[in-house]
Amino acid sequence: MRIAMLGSGFIGRFYAESIQGQRTRDRITSIYSRREESAKKFASDYGCLHWTTDMEEAIAHPDVDVVCISLPNNLHETAVLLCCKHKKAVITTKPLGRNASEAKRMLEAVETADIFNGYLEDLVYTPKFLKALESVKNGALGRILWSKSRETHPGPHSDWFWDLEQAGGGCILDLGCHCVEIGRNFIGKDIKPVEVMCWADTQVKPIEAEDHAIGLVKYENGAIGQFEVSWTFRGGLDLRDEVMGTEGTIWINNFLRTGFEMFTTGKGADYVAEKAESNSGWLFPVGDELNDLGYNHMFTDMFNAIEKGISPKETFYDGYVVNAVLDASYKSAKTKLWEPVKLDIWRGQTGLSKPSNLVEFDADHYLIKEEMTHYGAKKLILKNKKSGLISERIL
């Protein structure tokens, strides 16, 4: 692939390291950055043939097959529309839009222009997540009942994130977008998110947006997705997922406790990991951030899909659904009520209801629970179908 990178900041450089870090055929051929010195520096660091301070020039460049948007949230739509104009495949960082209306316009534009579109949600491509999802899909956890995703850190690294107009929201939009897509993947992307209850507050930072929030996303089949997000968490980047089903549970820790623990007095100290707050004392480095954060698997999926002429696992449609869930979260945080998820475009299942919770034991009873006790007795707890009486049977 010949890629135009739009934006030479934090994520643009992470993406570039992932795309070109190992032996690869994929090259960033063009870089757009606002400032000439940043564009030139990026071009020299990553061997780009072309640099520019004109976004359209980078997109339209004849040596570009796919455009990778790594710009602040308020610029995603402008960049996407230029990709549509020049019929270039486009992959966009998260969140797709600042809200669902913006995301919907982008989705409709790429589909009308008939161009490849990919949503760069890296956290559903981490090696641990991919393995966990495979187990979920194979039925190892039974029917999925609940999933929880937590992303918290001490706050973003650039001014524009803290400005409500440019960012479009606080930690709900910035971090909740990851958590919601993780929940959707575990619960089933074809299961409709129907309503949201969310608490949000500005507890610490002197900003208009929220810096801490917790939300519950209810799905049409009765499953529940929980998100916990914060820009006020102290201690680094906490990235954890949990999923629970009728037959099992998975807990994933992607960042702070990866099995790599280190102590240093601080002598010779350097970068530890994204958003690490200290480089001395007991530390939790991450072995290979690019891989552990899912970037490598994500770009492999995107570029393979472009070559094969198929859709990647995450598309603008997914980004749009996520934005719609987050819009309902913002509304709920204000009204303090369950708020419906407004999805003008929905391509999954409809009309689902909660599956029965009655487990047949015999003609007269439902089974509530079976347990082996420490004194060697196997106990059954049963419910009489007619009378509702709950009783024990010891085998």
Angle between helices 127-137 and 176-187 (to 10 degrees): 30
Closer to ligand NAD by CB, 64 or 382: give it.
Answer: 64
Q: Which stretch binds ligand NAD (CB under 6 A): 18-26, 66-74, 240-248, 383-391?
A: 66-74
Q: Which stretch binds ligand NAD (CB under 6 A): 8-16, 261-269, 323-331, 365-373?
A: 8-16
Question: Does residue 102 interact with ligand NAD by CB under 6 A?
Answer: no
By CB under 6 A, name the one of 22, 44, 158, 246 that touches ligand NAD: 158
Widest distance between CA atoms in the chain: 79
Question: Does residue 8 interact with ligand NAD by CB under 6 A?
Answer: yes
Question: Does residue 152 interact with ligand NAD by CB under 6 A?
Answer: no
Q: Which residue has the tokens 């993780």?
A: 182
Contact 188, 321 (CB under 8 A): no
Element (H, E) at 357: none
Question: Does residue 7 interact with ligand NAD by CB under 6 A?
Answer: yes
Distance CA 53, CA 34 (A): 5
Q: Give 392's contacts (C-beta < 8 A, 6+ positions apart).
A: 379, 380, 381, 382
Question: Does residue 169 interact with ligand NAD by CB under 6 A?
Answer: no
Q: Which stretch binds ligand NAD (CB under 6 A): 65-73, 245-253, 354-362, 382-390?
A: 65-73
Closer to ligand NAD by CB, 157 or 257: give it.
Answer: 157
Question: Does residue 97 interact with ligand NAD by CB under 6 A?
Answer: no
In the range 128-147, which residues lie near ligand NAD by CB under 6 A? none
Distance CA 388, CA 133 (A): 38
Per-state percent for the chain, helix, strand, coil, to nearest 5: 35, 25, 40
Question: Does residue 93 interact with ligand NAD by CB under 6 A?
Answer: yes
Angle between helices 176-187 and 316-335 (to 10 degrees): 110
Backbone angles phi, psi at 371, to 5 degrees: -150, 140
Question: Does residue 176 interact with ligand NAD by CB under 6 A?
Answer: no
In the range 111-130, which residues lie near ligand NAD by CB under 6 A? 120, 122
Q: Which stretch binds ligand NAD (CB under 6 A): 31-39, 137-145, 188-196, 323-331?
A: 31-39
By CB under 6 A, name the one of 31, 52, 66, 72 that touches ligand NAD: 72
Q: How far is the CB of 33 from ligand NAD (least distance, A)?
A: 5
Q: What angle do CA 339, 343, 347 make, to 5 degrees?
A: 135
Closer to ligand NAD by CB, 146 or 160: give it.
Answer: 160
Q: How far is the CB of 5 from ligand NAD (least distance, A)?
A: 9
Backbone angles phi, psi at 228, to 5 degrees: -130, 120
- β-strand pairing of 281-283 with 50-52: unpaired
Interacting residues with ligand NAD (CB under 6 A)? 7-12, 33-34, 38, 70-73, 75, 93-94, 120, 122, 158, 160, 174
